[in-house]
Structure 1
Amino acid sequence: MNLVMKIGFGVALSFMTLASAVQADEFKLSNNQRIACSRGLSPGKLNTATCRSYAYVFNIKTSEYYRCQVTLALTRDNKEVINVQADGNCAKKPRIFETDSNYSFDATETEPPNTNSFFGPGGYAVWASDNNARKVRGCIIISSGLGSDISKCLDMKFD
């Protein structure tokens, strides 16, 4: 599993480097990254471990963000590693606020399929706040199970 972690960190580091190359003064990496791994036993006593991690790159001026994913699959038998595959990309998401300002952002993923993911692989929650005004917006995005995501954002009221 040590090899899996090294390769996973290498791929994640390359995504962070790529993200920082794009106008580093306006883009920030979210503070809440998660990793989930699963294991499977295939015919012939092959073990497969698949790890997936998500991170978010946020434009602090426009409130647009990118949801980035990295996946690593490792197949081995009792003696050696047979195959290692890694993949990943960042998908651009729409603005959270309509106007430019100075924003903060964080996001969190649901766990892989479980009791919280009724329609598919789960979803994620996004929180953004305006650093220049008392303004916070919370969004929940879930898979509809029909090939599209359902997104709803609400402005928070302060009592």
Structure 2
Amino acid sequence: MKLVTKIGIGAAFSLTTLMSAAHADEFKLWNGQRIACSSGRAAGKLDTRVCRSYTYLFNVKTSEYFRCQMTLSLTRDNKEVINVQVDGGCAKKPRVFETDSKYEFDATETEPANTNSFFGNGGYSLWVADTTQQKLRGCITISSGLGSDISKCLDMNFQ
């Protein structure tokens, strides 16, 4: 009986490991991460530097994705670092395609304080291709300036 229990536990562990390995292959990290930094001097000769970086994590099976951002802020005077803060997280975005398949993607983003960012901190574009057929969708998301983002996607025609 103990042998049967051990075999059952071993099989369950192996199956769980295989399932999590297969699940891990569904997510791909965008390989075009960006970083933008700014600095400023405040009264009293304090120097503040802020750096922001972002990336995308994409589910290649469902076409859902996450936009991830990290911010580091450093404040110092002439002699020492006074404060260091870090913040960030990932926001889940909707599927680009309604059905599961095999997808590839690419993304790009405008940096803050860019002439392309009319109403806020810029926008981003995402291109997603269904690799099982000739299907490509482009999506652009920009800030409306009213507290919400506007996102539209377009299927590409092949001529």
Smaller-chain TM-score bracket: 0.7 to 0.9
Give the TM-score normalised by structure 1.
0.84
Corresponding residue of 1:43: 43
CA offsets 1:98-124 (integer angstroms, 9 cap, x no match):
100000011111011221111111110
Q: CA RMSD in A?
A: 1.6
Which residue number in structure 2 is paired with residue 25 of structure 1? 25
| 1:22–1:111 CA distance, 2 compared to 1 (3 A) | farther
Give the 5 Å matches for 1:1-159.
23-159=23-159
CA distance in 2, matches of 1:49, 1:113: 15
Which ranges in structure 1 are unaligned for 5 or more consecutive residues? 1-19
Describe the shift of the 1:73–1:21 C-alpha distance in structure 2 as closer, same or farther (beyond 3 A): farther
* CA spacing shift, 1:84–1:62, aligned 2, 3 Å: same
Unaligned 5+ segments in structure 2 are: 1-19
SS in 2 for 1:136: strand
Distance in 2 of aligned mates of 1:101 and 1:71:
34
Deviation sequence 1:64-117 (CA, Å, 0-9, x none): 000000000011111111110001100000000010000001111101122111
Residues 44 and 22 from structure 1, CA distance in 2 versus in 1: closer, same or farther, beyond 3 angstroms? farther
CA distance in 2, matches of 1:158, 1:104: 18
* Cα distance, 1:23 vs structure 2: 3.2
Larger RCO (alpha carbons 8 Å, 6+ apart): 1
**Distance between the aligned counterparts of 2:42 and 2:59, measured in 1?**
43
- 1:102-150 per-residue CA deviation (whole Å, 9 max, x = no partner) reads 0001111101122111111111011110111111111000000111100
Q: Give the C-alpha shift of residue 24 in structure 1.
A: 1.4
Report the Cα offset of residue 22 of structure 1.
Answer: 10
Find the residue that maps to 1:132 and give its secondary structure: coil
Following the alignment from structure 2 to structure 1, what is the Cα–Cα distance between the partners of residues 75 and 24?
37
The ranges of structure 1 where at least 4 consecutive aligned residues each deviate by more than 4 angstroms after the TM superposition are: none
Say which SS state the counterpart of residue 132 (structure 2) adopts.
coil
Q: 1:5 is matched with which residue?
A: none
Query: Identity of counterpart residues, as a percentage?
Result: 74
The separation in 2 between residues aligned to 1:90 and 1:106, in whole angstroms, is 17
